[in-house]
Amino acid sequence: MLGWSQSELAEAAGVSRTLLVEFERGARTPHRNNLDAMRRAMEAAGIEFIEENGGGAGVRFRHRQNR
């Protein structure tokens, strides 16, 4: 959604690119603090995580409020 490379996400989240590669391959499960860091980086870039609500969990761009 953001068009970020693995390197860009790793830098924004403060995690290693190797962690992301292994996570995407299913070879490793990141520690909770790394998952939280990745989530915070994406939220700071405008992504909103949607909790399970009967229709499934998901992500979307956060709505901008008009002022």
Cβ neighbors of 40 (< 8 A, separation 6 or more) are 13
Topology of domain 6-61 in CATH is 434 Repressor (Amino-terminal Domain) (1.10.260)
pLDDT band at 65 (very low <50, low <70, confident <90, very high): low
pLDDT band at 57 (very low <50, low <70, confident <90, very high): confident
7-51 pLDDT, tens digit per residue, is: 999 999 999 999 999 999 999 998 999 999 999 999 999 998 888
Q: What distance in Å separates the CA atoms of residue 64 and residue 19, rounded to the nearest whole number?
A: 32
pLDDT band at 54 (very low <50, low <70, confident <90, very high): low
